[in-house]
Each structure stands twice: as C-alpha cells, then as structure tokens.
C-alpha cells in the first residue's frame, strides 16, 4: 500500500478534529493535531510552551520557527496520517514540501463564520482525555462530566468571543490562501461542513474513498471540486 497523507483544512471550529476522530481508524490513519501538540507543550510548561502560550491565548498563529520544528518531528517519519492544523500558512506548506513530505489530498471543511461561532461558544472539552463535546449537538451523557473518564468538562481557553474573532482574522489572512494553492495542485476536496456531524462524516468518507481508489488505480480520472 502506498503512503496515505491527508490534511484537514478549515476555519476554527469547522469540525476538523470531530471529523478526524470519526474517519481516522476507518482508513487506518494516525490522527495528528498540531493544536493539541502545542497545548501539550503549554501544559508541560516547556520552553516552547511558555512562549507559544501567549499567541494561542490571543488567538494568533504561533510564529513559523516553532511550527517548523514541531511539524518536522510530527510528520517526517510517518506514512499514514490525517493531520488537523498543519500547514496553516503558505510558508508552512513550502517548508514541509521542501522536507519531502507530499500530501495525497487536502479535505477543506467549508462552513460559514456564523455557524462556527455557534459551535465554538458551546464547545466543551475534557482536560484529561481531550474528548470534545457540544452542549447542543454532541452533549456528554454524563452532563457536565466527560462520559469517557468522568472528569469535569471545561471551555477551551481560546473559545471566548474576542479570541474567536482574532482566530478568524488569522484564518482569513494567513490560512485561506492555502485553498487556492491546493486547488491548483489538484489536491483539494471540498466538504460541506455546515451539515450535521453524521452528514459531514459521510461526505468525508466518500471523499477519502475517492482519494484512495484513485491512488490504487491510477487510470481512474480524479473528479475533484473546483
């Protein structure tokens, strides 16, 4: 089997990690989260963590120099993965390409800003096992506690309204240009992320089936989103 390297791209709160959790095991992909890697550095109070914390709390992208090293460690020795949160700038895409990491497809979760604000303001996360919930769409069966490990759920530190606005500004100015880049490379698959979770999952599974069947039978014409 050839390598399977998939990127999840989309605005903050578009459902990237929810989708990653839903499809990774089905396609034997390791799910990787740049945001989670950074939050772990912050929690452990490493030198990197103490520096990147201030950017994350403000909702700004972390400077490239920190991301380059972490991305290389995360991706360079892996063959089958689904990564959420990298690349997030044209420079990051250029950097990892230069390191010989070539992606098979980029799944772009397309959803309006209004909808993601609604999602982020009602998100709850488990500080212990990192499970994610939504007060309306995906509530924990244990109420205010995590249904997997019973820890009290929290709101993520960057989910307050002002920080969400900054995260969006960063997304539009620095991350959105990647859509055009990956479209030109013929790698972009658009997913309607305004659908309920099951609909988004079904579209993602269909897109990945298409990606991998193309990979396994090179003569099949790729039918991609323009």
Which residue of the set 53, 119, 124, 167 is catalytic? Answer: 167
Q: Can you spell out the DSSP letters for 61-91? A: PPPHHHHHHHHHHHHTT-SEEEEES---SHH
List the structure tokens of 222.
């790729």
Nearer to ligand AP5, 198 or 219 (CB): 198
CB of 2 to ligand AP5, least distance (A): 25
Strands 132-134 and 30-33: unpaired
Contacts of 78 (CB under 8 A, 6+ apart): 5, 30, 32
Start-to-end CA span in the chain (Å): 28
Q: Does residue 56 bind ligand AP5 (CB under 6 A)?
A: yes
Q: Which stretch binds ligand AP5 (CB under 6 A): 97-105, 181-189, 191-199, 211-219?
A: 191-199
Pick from 186, 196, 218, 221 the residue near ligand AP5 by CB under 6 A: 196
Of 218, 200, 219, 170, nearest to 15 (Cα)? 200
Site map for ligand AP5, 1-20, x if CB under 6 A?
---------x-xxxxxxx--
Q: Which stretch binds ligand AP5 (CB under 6 A): 53-61, 93-101, 146-154, 182-190?
A: 53-61
Pick from 86, 168, 182, 189 the residue near ligand AP5 by CB under 6 A: 86
CB of 7 to ligand AP5, least distance (A): 11
Q: Does residue 35 bind ligand AP5 (CB under 6 A)?
A: yes
Q: Calculate helix-pair angle for 161-170, 47-58, nearest 10 degrees.
A: 100
Q: Does residue 29 bind ligand AP5 (CB under 6 A)?
A: no
Helices (H) and strands (E) in the chain, counts: 9, 7
Q: Does residue 212 bind ligand AP5 (CB under 6 A)?
A: no
List the structure tokens of 113.
């800003």
Calpha distance 130→124 (Å, rounded): 10
| 4 included as an active-site residue | no
Q: Does residue 22 bind ligand AP5 (CB under 6 A)?
A: no
Calpha distance 74→88 (Å, rounded): 15
Chain positions contacting ligand AP5, by CB under 6 A:
10, 12-18, 34-35, 38, 55-56, 59-62, 67, 84-86, 88, 92, 119-120, 123, 132-134, 137-138, 158, 167, 195-197, 200
């Amino acid at each position: 089997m050839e390598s399977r390297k998939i990127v999840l791209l989309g605005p903050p709160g578009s459902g990237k990690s929810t989708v990653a959790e839903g499809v990774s095991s089905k396609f034997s992909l390791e799910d990787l989260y740049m945001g989670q890697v950074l939050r772990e550095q912050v929690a452990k109070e490493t030198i990197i963590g103490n520096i990147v914390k201030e950017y994350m709390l403000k909702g700004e992208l972390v400077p490239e120099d920190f991301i380059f090293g972490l991305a290389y460690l995360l991706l360079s020795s892996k063959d089958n993965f689904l990564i959420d949160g990298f690349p997030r700038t044209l420079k990051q895409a250029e950097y990892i390409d230069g390191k010989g990491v070539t992606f098979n497809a980029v799944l772009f979760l397309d959803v309006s800003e209004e909808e993601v604000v609604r999602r982020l303001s009602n998100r709850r996360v488990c500080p212990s096992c990192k499970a994610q919930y939504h007060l309306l769409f995906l509530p924990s069966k244990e109420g205010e506690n995590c249904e997997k490990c019973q820890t009290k759920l929290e709101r993520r530190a960057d989910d307050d309204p002002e920080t969400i606005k900054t995260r969006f500004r960063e997304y539009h100015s620095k991350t959105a240009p990647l859509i055009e880049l990956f479209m030109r490379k013929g790698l972009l698959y658009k997913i309607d992320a305004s659908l309920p979770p099951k609909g988004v999952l079904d579209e993602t599974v269909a897109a990945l089936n298409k990606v991998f069947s193309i990979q396994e039978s090179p003569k099949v014409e790729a039918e991609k989103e323009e």
